[in-house]
Structure formats: structure tokens, C-alpha cells
């Protein structure tokens, strides 16, 4: 494939945009990053006003005029979690649609390449298509954007390049802030990154777990300002529980608990894992060889889980609204509502103080006239150093380069270009869409969103589901805590002893696959 040098057309691109941009986007693709202290002691990759970096300046000067860069993305089969970040989508908000087009135009102007996407039509198509292509040796896509669990399956089968490979030196810059450094750190095994996420992958932002609160309830009840609790490091499980007590009340005029009653905290069944991560725990850690180590089963993990279990099962303060046997669920269903719609209404109608959700749910909450703010998951206690927010990786997307691409160098260069050009275009637009169009317009929520995005955690156990099949599976390391909380009986220690051997075997199989995929 012919490649000729061409002058950088964007050398005069301004490195620093508006101060709002610096706050909102955090990691600017036009500056190098320097760690700085963030809210509550979190270290974030902030933009530096002294170290300037010109867009694309760390990539070779090449011309791919006449070439089409083809990518397979997750399509409309799961509407809420479909790809909107690679090509402009009619269903997207105008701000985001225009930003995606702008980003692609920047890359086309610089490298000459045009873009084309294929959108999957089922939940199994990504894996089946890429597996079929690999077996046939066909080179159909130059980059892929699967959900992380699918990426894990494909990586174990040896279908992806290691992005740390020396062949990508100077082409892929995983140390740059336009890659989510949490994903680079957490998703590697044996120092190999077969897939990562970054500023291109909006669904990794969307699937980050957080908490929203109703400002009217705070003011009417004279409760402490949650934003101030976060910034002072006092936003803890105990403080949250204290605020929730006194809110929950059977006050809808109907006998028994229902979705029209008032609740302190509405929590869904897979948020138990997020509270566990938020409390500074992990399912897995790493040794000095970057090999996973099971972190569950220690005295510390059992103690922390006991606290979380007591928290989420305290019916004087908390409602597990998605549990099948819960009055909230059954009465909402009887009224023809899903629990998710009912929970949106509870916040909007001042019938809930807090609600657990993913960031993407803010878009639906914004359809209601209500005043709400955004918070990170609470700490275990005030001695905990940082806030941590789990990315639910079921529908979070990532990027990977298949081994059968026609031109690995082109795939690497354009992948890196997409990441760095997304920071001040599509990622910024996504942030601004939340802030402006979805009615989360106070400065404090802006700061909270930045804190949440800067403290994301990807746990390998949430992706590989060692021991079982998913986050609701009692036999899975990523599911047993959720399942126990719903069951109403705290069997943490005995259940872990039951599944530990299978979990470790699966983890070792994963590790073997990484070592054998050379």
C-alpha cells in the first residue's frame, strides 16, 4: 500500500480550548497529561497548560488517500447500548452527531482515509463474524469495537494483536491520556493488552456506575449537601445509610410496599459489585508479572461484604427495586411499568433520595422535570484514599486490532488517531450532552462526573466471569455477591468456599491462553 509524506494540516490547532473544556474533558488529546490531585484525593490524568501536544504530531506522516478504514461495531440489537461513536447516527443528539463527523473529518484531512462501519444485528454476531473471518483468513475489518466480554472471548482464542507489541512502537501510544489508563492497567494480563478503551469508546463512559440524588428531597429534609460530603472525603457507606434512614416510608395509601412509596435508596441487583469496588475492594489484583490474583476470600473482603450486605438489605433505608420478589417490582409490573421506568419516576416525583444507575441512565432521567445531581459510589470509610467507580463491562465497548487485518501499520495509526481526535470532539460532545440537554447543569455535577470518569475501575473478573457465566450467577466470582444480596441470607464465606476452586481454574486457563497466544 502506497504511503507518502504529507504536511501536518493541523499544526496550528489550539492545544488548550475553553476552561470548560479543560474541566469537562479532563484528558485533552492536544496536551500531554500530568497527574494532579482530584476531588476527594483521586489522582486523575488532567491536562497540563505547560506541556503542549499537537494533534497527530506523534504519528507518522502518511497518506492513505483512496483507502477506506472499515470497522465492525455493535448495532441496534440492544438499542440503549448501540454504537453511536464511530459514525454519525440519525438517532444521536445533534451535538454528538456533529462531533463524530468533525472527528472523522479531522482524520480524513490528515491521513486521507475514509471511514465505513458495519453494525451487528444480534448479540452473537460480533464473535461469530470475527471468528469466521479468522478461520477463513479474510481481512474484512481494520479495527473492531466489541463489547468487552466478547473481546475477552476473542482474545482468548488468539484473534487479536497485543497492542504492546514492538511492531506498534510509535504507532499506538497506550501511555497517552486519550487512552483510559485504568483500562490499560486493569485489562492487561502478563503485560499484554489485546483490547483497551479510551476517548473513542463512549460506551465505557456510559456503562460507568454512579449514584444520582434528588435535590428537592435533600433541601426539604434539611440533609447535608452530598457534593460537600464528596469533596471533604466524608461520602461513605455509613453516611449514605444515615441519610437514607428517615426517608423510606410506606406512604402511598396502599397496604404493603410498592413502587409509589418513598425510599431512601433504590438499588438494582448488580450494583452490589459496584458498592464493593467503591469500598476499595477488588475481585482480582495483580502480581509483579502482571498476572491476576484472586482477591476475594480474605478476612478483609468478607468484612467489607458483610457491611455492604447489611446496607443493601436494610429495608428501613434501602429498596432492592429490581429483585423479582420485591413489592416495588411486583406493583410496578402490575401497573404495566418496568422497574427501570418506575425508578425514573420515583426520582422525578420526589419519592426517592438516591438511585443507583449507569451514566447512560442520565439520558432517560433527563426526560423528566426534576432537579437531580450525580455522585460517585461511596467510600467504605473516611480513611479510604480515593473514590472508585466500577465500569459494568457487559455493554462497555473497547477497541482491538484483529491479526488478519490487511495492513497492521495503518490499523494502528488510525486507531491511535481516532482515540486522540475524539477527546475534544465526540467525548466532549457526550459530556456536554449530559450537562446541557439532560438537565444536569450545576457546576458540582460537572465536577462529580469528571471525578467518576477519572476513577473508573475495570475488574478482570467482571469480564471473564471466572467460575460461572455472569453477574447474576451464584457460581461466578462476578455474580455471587449480587446473588447473595438478593437471596436475603448472607452466605458469603460458605459460597466463596464452594466456588473458589472453579474460579481459580478458570483464571489459570485465562492466564495460560495469554501466554500461549504469541
pLDDT for 93 equals: 84
Q: At what angle do helices 480-487 and 271-278 cross, to 10 degrees?
A: 110
Per-residue confidence at 91, pLDDT binned at 50, 70, 90? confident
pLDDT of residue 185: 95
In the predicted structure, residue 24 carries a pLDDT above the cut 60: no
Q: Is the pLDDT of residue 331 over 90?
A: yes
Identify the CA nearest to 189 among candidates 159, 168, 162.
162
Q: Which pLDDT score, from 0 to 100, does residue 9 have?
A: 35
Q: Which of 416, 430, 405 is nearest to 107 (CA)?
A: 416
> Over 90: is that where the pLDDT of 274 sits?
yes
Question: Domains of the chain by range and CATH?
Answer: 65-206+393-454 (3.40.190.10), 209-387+457-516 (3.40.190.10)
Checking if the pLDDT of 26 tops 90, the result is no
Mark residue 59 as left, alpha or beta (left: phi above 0; alpha: psi -120 to 50; beta: remaining): beta
Residues 122 and 125: their CA atoms lie apart, in Å, by 5
265: three-class secondary structure by DSSP: strand
Using N-to-C axis directions, what is the helix angle for 492-516 and 480-487, rounded to 10°?
160
Q: How does pLDDT run across 477-508, given as a tens digit for each residue?
A: 999 999 999 998 999 999 999 999 999 999 99
- Per residue in 105-157, pLDDT (tens digit) is 999 999 999 999 999 999 999 999 999 999 988 889 999 999 999 999 999 99
DSSP H or E stretch at residue 120: none
At residue 28 the predicted structure's pLDDT band, cuts being 50, 70 and 90, is very low
Least confident of 256-265, 320-329, 430-439, 455-464: 430-439
Strands 318-320 and 263-267: parallel
The pLDDT value given to residue 51: 62
The residues facing 52 across adjacent strands are: 31
Amino acid at each position: 500500500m502506497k504511503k507518502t509524506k504529507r504536511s501536518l494540516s493541523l499544526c496550528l490547532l489550539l492545544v488548550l480550548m475553553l476552561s470548560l473544556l479543560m474541566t469537562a474533558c479532563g484528558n485533552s488529546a492536544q496536551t500531554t497529561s500530568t497527574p494532579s490531585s482530584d476531588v476527594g484525593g483521586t489522582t486523575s490524568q488532567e491536562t497540563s497548560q505547560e506541556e503542549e501536544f499537537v494533534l497527530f504530531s506523534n504519528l507518522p506522516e502518511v497518506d492513505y488517500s483512496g483507502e477506506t478504514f472499515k470497522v465492525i461495531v455493535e448495532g441496534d440489537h440492544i438499542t440503549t447500548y448501540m454504537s453511536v461513536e464511530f459514525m454519525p447516527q440519525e438517532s444521536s443528539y445533534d451535538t454528538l452527531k456533529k462531533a463524530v463527523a468533525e472527528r472523522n473529518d479531522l482524520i480524513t484531512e490528515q491521513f486521507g482515509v475514509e471511514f465505513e462501519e458495519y453494525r451487528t444485528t444480534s448479540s452473537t454476531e460480533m464473535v461469530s463474524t470475527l471468528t469466521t473471518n479468522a478461520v477463513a483468513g479474510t481481512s474484512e475489518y481494520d479495527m473492531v469495537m466489541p463489547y468487552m466480554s466478547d473481546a475477552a472471548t476473542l482474545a482468548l482464542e488468539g484473534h487479536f494483536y497485543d497492542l504492546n507489541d514492538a511492531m506498534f512502537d510509535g504507532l499506538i501510544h497506550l501511555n497517552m491520556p486519550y487512552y483510559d489508563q485504568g483500562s490499560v492497567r486493569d485489562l492487561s494480563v502478563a503485560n499484554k493488552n489485546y483490547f483497551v478503551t479510551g476517548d473513542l469508546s463512549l460506551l465505557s463512559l456510559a456503562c460507568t456506575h454512579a449514584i444520582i440524588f434528588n435535590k428537592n428531597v435533600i433541601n426539604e429534609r434539611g440533609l447535608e449537601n452530598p457534593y460537600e460530603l464528596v469533596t471533604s472525603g466524608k461520602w461513605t457507606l455509613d453516611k449514605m445509610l444515615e441519610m437514607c434512614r428517615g426517608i423510606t416510608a410506606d406512604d402511598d395509601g396502599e397496604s404493603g410496599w410498592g413502587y409509589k412509596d418513598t425510599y431512601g435508596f433504590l438499588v438494582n441487583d448488580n450494583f452490589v459489585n459496584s458498592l464493593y469496588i467503591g469500598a476499595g475492594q477488588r475481585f482480582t489484583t495483580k502480581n509483579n508479572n502482571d498476572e491476576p490474583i484472586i482477591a476475594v476470600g480474605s478476612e478483609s473482603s468478607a468484612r467489607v461484604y458483610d457491611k455492604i450486605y447489611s446496607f443493601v438489605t436494610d429495608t428501613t433505608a434501602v429498596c432492592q427495586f429490581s429483585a423479582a420478589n420485591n413489592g416495588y417490582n411486583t406493583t410496578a409490573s402490575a401497573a404495566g411499568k418496568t422497574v427501570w421506568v418506575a425508578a425514573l419516576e420515583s426520582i422525578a416525583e420526589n419519592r426517592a433520595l438516591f438511585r443507583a444507575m449507569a451514566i447512560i441512565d442520565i439520558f432517560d432521567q433527563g426526560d423528566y422535570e426534576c432537579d437531580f445531581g450525580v455522585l460517585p459510589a461511596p467510600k467504605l470509610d473516611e480513611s479510604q484514599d480515593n473514590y472508585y467507580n466500577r465500569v459494568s463491562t457487559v455493554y462497555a465497548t473497547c477497541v482491538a486490532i484483529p491479526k488478519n487485518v490487511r495492513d497492521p501499520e495503518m490499523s494502528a495509526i488510525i486507531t491511535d488517531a481516532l482515540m486522540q481526535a475524539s477527546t475534544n470532539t465526540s467525548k466532549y460532545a457526550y459530556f456536554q450532552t449530559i450537562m446541557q440537554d439532560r438537565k444536569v447543569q450545576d457546576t458540582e455535577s460537572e465536577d462529580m462526573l469528571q471525578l467518576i470518569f477519572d476513577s473508573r475501575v475495570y475488574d478482570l473478573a467482571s469480564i471473564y466471569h471466572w467460575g460461572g457465566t455472569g453477574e447474576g450467577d451464584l457460581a461466578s466470582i462476578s455474580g455471587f455477591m449480587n446473588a447473595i444480596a438478593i437471596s436475603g441470607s448472607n452466605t458469603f464465606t460458605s459460597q466463596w468456599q464452594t466456588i473458589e476452586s472453579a474460579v481459580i481454574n478458570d483464571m489459570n486457563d485465562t492466564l495460560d491462553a495469554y501466554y500461549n497466544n504469541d
